[in-house]
Structure 1
Amino acid sequence: MSSPLFKPLALGIYALFFTVGLVGALVLPTFSLFLATEIQVRPLMVGGAFAGLALASIAYNHWIGHWSDRLADRRPLVAFFCLLGSISCVIFALSRNYWLVAFTAIFLLSLSMVSFSQIMAYSLDYAEAEIPTERIPLFNAIMRAQIAFAWVAGPPMGFLLATNLGFDVSYGVAAVLYILVALASFKLLPRLPAKQKQLAESGEKPFLAPLAPSVKQSLWICAIGFSLLWGVNNAYLISLPIHLKDNLRLDAQWMGWVMGTTAALEVPFMLLAGHYASRFRLISLVRCAGIAALLLYIGVYFANQLWHLFVLQICNAIFIGVLAGLGVSVIQDLMPGRSGAASGLYTNTTHIGNLLSSLMVGVVADYFGYHQVFLANILLVFVAIWAFGKVKTSRELAVGN
């Protein structure tokens, strides 16, 4: 247990990631079904709510991420954002007014999601200070594996609660869990390293040389590629529950078991990706994740039996396992010493992807049906794989200069 990967500090990070992931896994997967069936709005309005949620998350995450780097302790922020998440879930449980629900999701639930990037910033600071460089991708993979563990139980629990007891009970349970996470953050979230505390107390900021144009170019391409891949994943999560119910005539609660299967399968792929990251180019592994995504969406497009979807979760597990396990390591490699900015940029690629995919789902599903969303996903994954082929690592950029 002397390894920095398993010190009490690291274990606290893992535990908090799991608890935050569990609450998110209860709330987000059922939200499209909540809007479509409980409030009964058309697909364009479902997409609009998700788009607003993503857009607000991008703005909050960018501003708060830069501002929070000047704070000595981020834990009060994490707790406050979780309390806002609890308030959001209470409103979801009590209201069936679309505009109130959409307003709450856009302006309150989106703020609660900033807690994720704040915890990630802690983890990157710890990794840079305590973990050998070649082991950082494995640490990041273990950290993100906690989210996968949470999603093994979260979606099935959320869909079971929603379909059997109602959305008011489902979101009521989530509200209570948000409060518990807010309280636990002070116990589980590690303190900042002593050096960072001194910098915060003195008001001094470490000098960081401006990023070279070639690095910025690779970061822009990475941002585009990650946004597309997270976007197609979000489009899949929004569309599949309704596709199961309307097109395949299956009970929507099966979506929870499908998601849980993916989460269970993706953990070993996530850890393997972290282990082999020191032997292969990170970008090459990410492109392999894109190929797995292609196979997934082609399979889902043609699947007409429930067991087909369960088999395809192997591809989904490879896709998400590698993407979630190594994505932040790719950004961190290009931005050493900038933990807050790196975590903020990477987290924002998920929000940008969510925004684009929400708009795409709203338009495609409204005019052509939810089934055709998977065809659009296939085209976008091709673009992402091509984009990552243009990215150069920090080592390659250093050799080039």
Structure 2
Amino acid sequence: MLLTFRQSDYRSLFIINGVLALQTAMLVPIYPLWIMEEMNTSVTTVFFLLSIIGVGTALLNMAVGHFADRLGQRKALVELTVLLGVLRTVLFAFFPNVWVLLIVSSLTQISNGGITFAILKERIQKHQHGHMEGLLTSTVRMSVSVGYIIGPAIGVFLASAFSFQMFFFISAFLYVILFFLSRVMLTEPAKKQPEHTEKTKTAKGQWMFVVLGFSLVILLFSGNIAVDTLLSVHIDRSYAPWVLAAVFAVSPLFELLAFPLAGWASDRFGLRITLLYGTIVGIVYFSIFFFFTSLPVLFLNQILGAVYTACLFTSLMLFIQQLFRHRLAFSSSMYFSAISLASILSNSLMGSALAGSQLTTGFLLLSGVTFVGLCLFGLMVFLETKTTALKEDKSAVS
């Protein structure tokens, strides 16, 4: 873990991802409440709006990943997405209505993670730290947990003490700071243009795994995405504002321990074993919320949520990157695009399920979706093993 902070490449990505996470974490408990209060919408409408926004985000992520591999200008693309974040938050501050939300979010909401983690993967290869890939990836990802520890409290404080408009102004200012951090701290990875054609052919030849990989990330991340909105609405209806900030800080706090352990487990026992057990933990996590929603359970169950999140953001991402190891930005952006598509599935399911049901029904539905994802993961491992065996047989014959 200390290597992450000694090596400037890893340290820079740790800081930048942490500030990005702070931005997102500030918005997590506020976003659904802002939509409901400022736009006079219902809980069901919130879920459907968020699902529509996910379509534009997914398409933009894939486009960014493709051009990052093709052009090699990954630092410039990170800076562009940050500037789009400034534009988005300023527009939200001045124009809080449904049409602005849909249009602006669909055109500007791009995940930087696809590019930054592609840069991380490249740096790990450059420094020949492949034997520590899981631990290094989880440690850099741990900075996101740091952002999520303080982010929800800051977001709730700003929205409660001032206004939603002031909240978005401050968010825009943080994006400006992030832009200058990216300019100073990130370096442009070396471009290897001659390899591009072969890399593209490799990705096209694995179209089946592209579809399956998308589906796997969507199914496993649907619960991770939707549970925050479910918890926000449930806690807002039943408890004081400080409880909202406190509950959302518990999971990231334990993630500081869970992420290094998940990375170590991935290196020690393998990505597939770690992801298998992490997904089972996720199923248990959602099921507990269906049966128990008392305040002590809300806090204690977040520990399981931390383990589930750590496995998803470490083992699952590395698993997808291994499937398309020759196109780093594409595989990373595909992973984050699938997360955006997961928001469509989860929010649509939640909107439909909660139209005539209680909030707790949503937790049971998320448990079922995660179980389907577990079954698909087993199928993918089987197919990958079979495909690898066929390739080895062909190589032996030739």
Q: TM-score, normalised by structure 1?
A: 0.89
Contact preservation (8 Å) 1:163, 1:253: no
Q: CA deviation at 1:77?
A: 2.2
Q: CA deviation at 1:204?
A: 6.8
- The 5 Å alignment of 1:94-243 reads 94-108=94-108, 110=109, 113-193=110-190, 196=191, 199=192, 205=196, 207-208=198-199, 210-211=201-202, 216-243=207-234
- The 5 Å alignment of 1:308-327 reads 308-327=297-316
- The 5 Å alignment of 1:59-78 reads 59-78=59-78
Partner of 2:396: none
Q: CA deviation at 1:329?
A: 0.9
Which of 236, 255, 260 pairs up with 1:245? Answer: 236
Structure 2 gap segments, 5+ residues each: 392-398
Distance change in 2, residues 1:99/1:300 (3 Å):
same
- The 5 Å alignment of 1:210-359 reads 210-211=201-202, 216-246=207-237, 249-359=238-348
Distance change in 2, residues 1:218/1:80 (3 Å):
closer
- Structure richer in helix, relative to its length: 2
Which of 360, 371, 377 pairs up with 1:382? Answer: 371
Letter in 2 for 1:179: V
Q: Distance in 2 between matches of 1:260 and 1:2?
A: 24
SS of residue paired to 2:112: helix
Partner of 1:33: 33
Distance change in 2, residues 1:299/1:190 (3 Å):
same
Contact preservation (8 Å) 1:235, 1:357: yes
Q: Distance in 2 between matches of 1:204 and 1:213?
A: 15
- Greater mean deviation of Cα atoms: 369-378 or 89-98: 89-98
- Greater mean deviation of Cα atoms: 91-100 or 77-86: 91-100
Identity %: 20
Distance change in 2, residues 1:129/1:216 (3 Å):
farther
Letter in 1 for 2:222: G
Q: CA deviation at 1:124?
A: 1.7
Q: Distance in 2 between matches of 1:354 and 1:156?
A: 23
Contact preservation (8 Å) 2:220, 2:373: yes
Q: CA deviation at 1:3?
A: 4.8
Partner of 1:16: 16
Letter in 2 for 1:301: F
Letter in 1 for 2:314: G
- The 5 Å alignment of 1:362-373 reads 362-373=351-362
| Deviation per residue, 1:59-90 (Å, 9 max, x gap) | 11111211222324322322222122122212
Q: Distance in 2 between matches of 1:169 and 1:217?
A: 47
CA RMSD of aligned residues (A): 2.4
Structure 1 gap segments, 5+ residues each: none
Q: Distance in 2 between matches of 1:212 and 1:120?
A: 19
Q: Distance in 2 between matches of 1:245 and 1:302?
A: 19
Partner of 1:48: 48
Q: Distance in 1 between matches of 2:49 and 2:376?
A: 29
Q: Distance in 1 between matches of 2:118 and 2:290?
A: 37
